[in-house]
Amino acid sequence: MSQRSDLNTPEKNLQNCPPNYTSNYQQAYADDEIDLRELWHAVWSRKWGIALITVVVMIAALVYALNAKNYYRAQVVLAPVQSEGKSAGLAAQFGGLASLAGINLGGGGASDTGTAIAILQSRKFGERFIQENNLKPYLFSKSWDADKKVWIEQSPGVMASIKALIMPASTGGQGGYQREPLAPGEPSLWDAYKEFSKMLTVSTAKDSGFVTVSVEFTDPVLAAQWATQMVQDINQLMKTQSLAEAQRSNAYLEQQLKKTSLAEVRQSIYQMMEANIKTMMLANTSDDVVFKTIDPAVVPEEKSKPKRSLIMAVAMVLGLMLGVFWALIRNAMASSKKESE
């Protein structure tokens, strides 16, 4: 078996081949090898071209970095307001009856926090915040004439004109929905929300549960003001909803109290009404209904972007890579031309 396997080895088979086949095989194998010295020679011989490409890329990056606006990030660190154990106990005992009455008795901290975060990131809340604080002139400063207090009407582009001819905008819709009335040159609320959503970040720490609301804008004072105002608005909104739900719940429970004479049911209703009264009392005496501010927003002094040093470093690496790639392509083209001749 060993002698037969020795006869079938590639070396034995190669020795038994004709001489021309062996030389052609060795030549093809040699052609497939990468000569690092040749590559280094190709790169080094074109070092000035590589340097020129790198400098051009770095100059373009420098122009971009110098013309880019500075952005500042203001953030507020919040702690969720936890519900007390008594409310959780009531939910465990009377959860079915409470849900029938539309009452939220238990676990308020986690569920209310999740609801508040979802509202903060929702389009409805963002559009209302933009309208109430008149943010459009700040979000579209290039289209706003601050002296005349009017929008600058710009001529539509070619693609916009073609789109308007093919798909004309409707002024009304079914079910009472109407398009937003806009002044000439005024951006829509849809576009304003898209710009505002790029500035807003809401994150939750997995270990501590703290919520961070960040606003990034070119004006550091406005960024701090908007971050603070958003926290106040979400607390006020949740406070209003909590009061309305507690009042509706008590109204329903008072009606059910008149209809029943069972002592156990009446006792349960009284306890849920007590929980609602406590909710209304806490909502009326405190502004921090869902979030309590741990670290308020301050006017940032350091910009968050652009990171000009990082831009220049990336531009230098990118320029070198493009230069080396150009040198290798030139070398390959010269080699193929030489072989063809």
β-strands 211-217, 72-80 pairing: antiparallel
What's the confidence (pLDDT) of residue 92? 44
Helix (H) or strand (E) holding 38: helix 36-44
Model-wide pTM > 0.95? no
- The amino acid present at 170, given as its one-letter code, is S
87: number of Cβ within 10 Å: 18
HEC profile of 180-224: CCCCCCCCCHHHHHHHHHHHEEEEECCCCCCEEEEEEECCHHHHH
What's the confidence (pLDDT) of residue 39? 80
What's the confidence (pLDDT) of residue 18? 56
pLDDT of the chain along its 341 residues, tens only? 444 444 455 555 545 555 554 455 455 444 545 577 878 887 888 889 889 999 999 999 999 988 889 999 999 999 988 654 334 444 444 444 444 444 444 444 446 788 889 999 999 999 999 999 999 999 998 889 888 888 988 776 666 566 556 655 555 555 556 777 888 888 999 999 999 999 999 999 888 889 999 999 999 999 999 999 999 999 999 888 888 888 888 888 888 888 887 888 888 888 888 888 887 887 777 778 888 999 999 999 988 888 889 999 999 999 999 999 998 888 888 878 777 76
Contact predicate 239/287, CB 8 Å: yes
With b meaning 16 or more CB within 10 Å and e meaning fewer, what string describes 286-301?
eeebbbebeeebeebe
What's the confidence (pLDDT) of residue 83? 52
52: burial class by Cβ within 10 Å (0-12, 13-18, 19+)? middle
Helix (H) or strand (E) holding 121: none
Q: CA 274 to CA 272: how far, in whole Å?
A: 5
Contact predicate 214/75, CB 8 Å: yes
- Strand blocks (E) in the chain: 72-80, 144-145, 150-151, 200-204, 211-217, 291-295
What's the confidence (pLDDT) of residue 54? 92
Domain residue extents for the chain: 72-143+186-295
For the domain with range 72-143+186-295, which CATH number is right: 3.40.1350, 3.30.1890, 1.10.3210, 3.40.50?
3.30.1890
What's the confidence (pLDDT) of residue 176? 53
